[in-house]
Amino acid sequence: MIGFEIHPRKRAVSSDFVEKFRRIPVANISDCMSRMTAGGARLRPMHDGHPLAGPALTVRTRPGDNLLVHKALELAQPGDVVVVDAGGDLTNAIIGEIMTTYAQTRGLAGIVINGAIRDCGTIRRSAFPVYAAGVTHRGPYKDGPGEINAVISLDGMTIEPGDLILGDEDGLLSLPYDQVEALYEAASAKHAVEEQMLAQIAAGTLDTSWIDARMKAQGWKP
């Protein structure tokens, strides 16, 4: 039936890279991706702020409907992040306390909803990562249609099944499966540089001469 499709996920980032990236701020990784990729400023952490990291199991659903989200939670493997493109609509909540509790007991790494959630008080006090665009008390429909493990896009950020999903208090980021290794090397180096800068600030030795040099290069005169 058109609109009801469940595809196999053919690949997923390894647990080794999931753990390595968990220690690097999303902003550092984003800088290494030329600041071209983001899940949109509306997708915010609804939980207590614990970092999110894991391979994507993607869902595309009609706004306000969560039938295929329920199915995705059954199909997801421990460590997966269920990423739902619900069109960004905030009229109906896609998930709430029941579904997040079920996902947590199955060992999932988190849930991303490009749409609304409810039971936000309980979710806010939980360490289980949940990102969403908004909150409403009005519940979902359960009729479909939807797709599982299709390519989706959140505010221009393309996500393929098995890509690495990362999140912290700054927001969400998706790393393409075939770029994970190179991005880890670049982001690790970027993070080390920033750690060194913070140490220099604490010691009062930070070199800021680049500011005047940059202004001069832009045509500014003393």
Q: Which residues are annotated as a binding site for substrate?
A: 96-99, 118
Q: How far apart are CA 185 and CA 145, in angstroms?
A: 40
Rounded CA-CA distance 55/109 in Å is: 9
- Known binding residues for Mg(2+): 119
At 42, list the tokens: 């509306």
Does residue 8 have a cis peptide bond before it, meaning omega lies within 30 degrees of 0? no
Task: Tell me the C-alpha distance between 84 and 148, whole Å.
Answer: 9
| Binding-site residues | 96-99, 118-119
